[in-house]
């Protein structure tokens, strides 16, 4: 069987990428796979503090680790400048990704075009590591525009998009707004799942993963 290697990006920061990443990893594990999870760049935390990778491992039961970390809560380029260290390069991050064989889920930081350095963004990492995208759409005002812009940016770079996961990130969306978002995305990407509002638990992630498995199985 071929490996499924996914890059999880979002329409913005704080839209539920970590929850979606845990759900994807749990879904793959439920399909009999042995996925690993990488957090490409963790920002906003000092050394030793539990971050997104620790949360993903707790929620999914799947091993997760970080590639890079910066203390400043900012994009990786700004955070590296604040730390006085060289900016990250997509090729270096891609080599870290390539060292892990088999199924892999890589969580980005913010959106697809978040800068790594003066010339490169996280999209360049996805290209260099040959990752397939899953777009996490935070269901709040502005998400349609952000989703369409992200899909357009992915298409320009010939990045394959497996689909989108919608997350009620701020509050439960009204049925009308959910229908509007689904209509706008119709024909542009497949909706793989809808995750509810609220802090997730391991049992909630398992429940959501059950519904996601059927959508991921065809890609394996």
Question: pTM of this prediction?
Answer: 0.96
The CATH superfamily of 5-219 is P-loop containing nucleotide triphosphate hydrolases (3.40.50.300)
- pLDDT tens digits for range 112-151: 999 999 999 999 999 999 999 999 999 999 999 999 999 9
Q: Give the separation between CA 85 and CA 132, rounded to whole angstroms.
A: 30
- Tokens 């329409």 identify what position? 11
Enumerate the β-bridge partners of residue 132. 6
The mean predicted confidence, pLDDT, of the chain is 96
Token output for 211: 């519904």
- Tokens 């360049």 identify what position? 124
Q: Give the separation between CA 169 and CA 69, rounded to whole angstroms.
A: 24
Known catalytic residues are 39
Annotated domain spans of the chain: 5-219
Q: Give the separation between CA 46 and CA 25, rounded to whole angstroms.
A: 26
Q: Give the separation between CA 25 and CA 73, rounded to whole angstroms.
A: 25
What residues in the chain have per-residue pLDDT under 50?
A: none
């Amino acid at each position: 069987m071929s490996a499924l290697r996914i890059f999880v990006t979002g329409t913005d920061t704080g839209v539920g990428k970590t929850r979606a990443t845990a759900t994807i990893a749990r879904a793959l594990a439920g399909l009999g796979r042995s996925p690993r999870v990488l957090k490409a760049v963790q920002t906003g935390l000092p050394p030793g503090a539990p971050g997104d990778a620790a949360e993903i491992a707790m929620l999914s039961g799947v091993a997760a680790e970080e590639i890079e970390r910066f203390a400043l809560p900012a994009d990786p380029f700004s955070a590296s400048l604040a730390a006085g260290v060289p900016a990250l390069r997509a090729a270096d991050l891609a080599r870290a990704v390539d060292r892990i064989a088999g199924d892999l889920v890589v969580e980005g930081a913010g959106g697809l075009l978040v800068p790594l350095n003066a010339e490169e963004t996280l999209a360049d990492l996805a290209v260099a590591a040959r990752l397939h995208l899953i777009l996490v759409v935070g269901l709040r005002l502005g998400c349609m525009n952000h989703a369409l812009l992200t899909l357009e940016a992915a298409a320009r770079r010939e990045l394959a998009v497996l689909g989108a996961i919608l997350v009620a990130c701020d509050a439960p969306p009204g049925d009308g707004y959910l229908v509007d978002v689904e209509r706008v995305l119709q024909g542009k990407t497949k909706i793989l799942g809808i995750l509810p509002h609220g802090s997730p638990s391991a049992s909630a992630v398992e429940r959501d993963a059950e519904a996601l498995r059927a959508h991921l199985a065809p890609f394996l």
